[in-house]
Structure 1
Amino acid sequence: MGSHRRRAEGDPVDSKPARLSDTEQAGIRLFEETLGYVYSAALRAAAAVGVADHLASGPKTVVELAQATGAHADNLNRVLRALAMRGVFHEDDRGRFELTPEAELLRSDVPGSLRSAVLTFTDKTFWNSHGELAHSVEHGDASFDKVFGTTFFDYFRDVESPETFYSGMQSKSDSENASIIRNLTFPAGATVVDVGGGYGGLLLEALRADDSLYGLLMDLGDHVVAGHRLGELGDDDRWELVTGDFFEECPPADVYLLKHIIHDWNDEQCVRILRNCRRAMRPGGRIVVLDTVIPPRNEPHLGKLFDIMVMSILPGRERTEEEFRALFDKAGLELTRVLDTGFAVSVVEAVAR
């Protein structure tokens, strides 16, 4: 007779599963990665309905949140519990949801809010382009152009309001600017150009940090610089707006800041921009590129994901230190420093050769 017996009523249930093989565990991890886009969709949904704003005063039930936001209670609960398992919102033992440090940044009324950035980076312009990423891999061009029938920048200039793009980009950029400026030093009395600087958040941070600086905010058109934030400085004598095309020329200055500019373009276009800066640069001046520097091999880095994003929408790329060195060399510049800021963006400095 065998040793097995039928479980009697009241006997404990053995709920421990049999050990999975390495292959089975790998399959689970791979499928979790496959569903990563679902998490992004849930994050966008929470940002879109403004859940975080209604939790500023403390935890609330999903019914209370649904009444406050006009959302469907059951579906909102399903979204929030998915986000809570990765630390965006937290469900307490009474079934109420509350803010976490990450969810706090989804509020629209806090310093450093990333709500606008979340909505921008999960917008259809990014979302649909990433869905066709195989096109970029197979053909070498941006899948955005295939999906939308125009280039990324032309789309936001001609099809959509540019505020949609620039407000989201500014939201992300603002979260990095203080760290960047803490890692930079400027010559006393220097003129600093924020090249393609959008609304001027980086330049504003620099002018606040050093009251001897004079700033130029340069971008392509009045529709961009008209939304600038330099008035927040409270000293209009220390800055001016410059409308211009960095592919044609740049104004004279001591320091050129190029934040998330070089990564937008291919090598030939980048060299043209850098040469224009070098040509206009005053003696002893320098160029500061603020982009991701891709680390080698298997090292985890958010910049490797940004690189995929850039691949899908633009002709550019994120670059390694050696690739930056080669770009600078072609533009008559010498790379002098690469510094990690703690964010995905690094400080990459160059001077004239």
Structure 2
Amino acid sequence: MATPPPQGLSPEAKLMQVATGYWASQCLAAVIRLDIQDCFKNGPRSIYDIAQEKNCNGDALYRSMRALSNMGIFMECEEDGYFDHSPTTKILENPNGYINALKFETHPSGYKCWSNYFETVKNGGPNAHENFNAKNMWDVIHQDKEFNALFSRAMGTFTKMTTFAILKEVGHEFAKYETVCDVGGSKGVLMNELLKINPNIQKGICFDLPSVVADTKSEDSRFSVVGGSFFDSVPEADCYTIKNVLHDWSDEKCIDILRTIGKSMKQGGKIYIFDSIIKTKNTPSLPSLLDVRK
């Protein structure tokens, strides 16, 4: 028997919250695209003054900020028309932080990928195919320079968030390997950290698409960059890491990726997979949503 959903909102309110979820994300998308999050560094400000600075409509911006503040995103002050950061949004002031992930996830190209999802459910296949004449979302990312740049920055942010946990749990296990390759390694954050704590590693390879690793650098002489597709080939190594990659692909594509790695792996090698896992049923779960985005 299925577990009933947790108590709280009425069935009608819960269903409407999901149905109108894109209203909230569109409000957030507009606000962060204008970089409103950077306007409260010195405390509360009039949203109408900010609207003048940003050359946008004050009434529409006020309504968007009011809607977000009622969800705990920013805070409406007692003085009419004034807003400030809430505990949730203070982190968005860091230009190299979580703001990059939000800008990527709310980008117009991302919304367009989802607009044809009904056909995906009916016929299978990737979300983005019909609207972009693309095979999958990754083709869409590489067609749009702005979307591509946001993707790279967002992946860097996610990597920083997860690298600490990886190092804590298994970081020193890599000392027994001569060559370690991070597949889908983006800007090399994880690989650089692994090299720092494992002086026995002779070579650390950051492998990703050429456009992603084009400007990836390191002060460590053992660090190297290789561009390519993990569907074609990967560099030879005796250990591989693949982090937050497989959840973006179908089971068949995941098998293809792992087979590609297996062909290049030295005898006795090992793959470390770090990714989201759907553990429980009938509970809120971001991994279960990641699983439908292909």
Global fold match (TM > 0.5): yes
Give per-residue Cα distances to partners, 1:164-185, cap 9 Å, x unaligned. 4323333333333323332223
Question: Taking structure 1 as reference, are residues 28 and 158 closer, same or farther at Cα in structure 2, changes over 3 Å only?
Answer: closer
Instruction: Say if 2:208 is the partner of 1:224.
Output: no
Paired residues for 1:1-353 under 5 Å: 25-95=10-80, 96-109=82-95, 113-151=97-135, 152-158=137-143, 160=145, 162-185=148-171, 186-188=173-175, 190=177, 191-213=179-201, 214-221=203-210, 223-228=211-216, 230-231=217-218, 234-235=219-220, 237-308=221-292, 310=293, 314=294
- Calculate the aligned-residue CA RMSD, in Å: 2.5
Where 1:28 maps in the other structure, the secondary structure is helix
CA contact (8 A) 2:174 2:194 kept: no
Give per-residue Cα distances to partners, 1:18-39, cap 9 Å, x unaligned. xxxx9x9322321122111111
* Aligned twin of 2:4: none
Question: Taking structure 1 as reference, are residues 25 and 294 closer, same or farther at Cα in structure 2, changes over 3 Å only?
Answer: closer
Instruction: Please report the TM-score for the alignment, with normalisation by the length of structure 2.
Output: 0.84
Question: Taking structure 1 as reference, are residues 61 and 208 closer, same or farther at Cα in structure 2, changes over 3 Å only?
Answer: farther
Q: How far 1:57 moved relative to its partner?
A: 1.8
Letter in 1 for 2:87: P
Q: Which whole-Å CA distance do the structure 2 matches of 1:79 and 1:108 have between them? A: 22
Instruction: Please report the TM-score for the alignment, with normalisation by the length of structure 1.
Output: 0.71
Q: Which runs of 5+ in 2 are unaligned?
A: 1-6
Q: Which whole-Å CA distance do the structure 2 matches of 1:239 and 1:296 have between them? A: 39
Give per-residue Cα distances to partners, 1:68-100, cap 9 Å, x unaligned. 433322222211111112221112323432212
Give per-residue Cα distances to partners, 1:283-310, cap 9 Å, x unaligned. 55321112211123213211112122x2
Where 1:93 maps in the other structure, the secondary structure is coil
Letter in 2 for 1:180: I
CA contact (8 A) 2:28 2:68 kept: yes
Q: Which runs of 5+ in 1 are unaligned?
A: 1-21, 315-353
Q: How far 1:251 moved relative to its partner?
A: 2.3
Q: Identify which range, 254-263 or 42-51, moves more after superposition.
A: 254-263
CA contact (8 A) 1:120 1:169 kept: no
Letter in 2 for 1:121: E
Question: Taking structure 1 as reference, are residues 39 and 158 closer, same or farther at Cα in structure 2, changes over 3 Å only?
Answer: closer
CA contact (8 A) 1:50 1:107 kept: no
Count of residue pairs the alignment pairs up: 281
Q: Give the structure with higher Rg (CA).
A: 1
Give per-residue Cα distances to partners, 1:96-126, cap 9 Å, x unaligned. 32212321232253x5x22222121112222
Q: Which whole-Å CA distance do the structure 2 matches of 1:211 and 1:85 have between them? A: 50
Q: Which whole-Å CA distance do the structure 1 matches of 2:25 and 2:167 have between them? A: 30
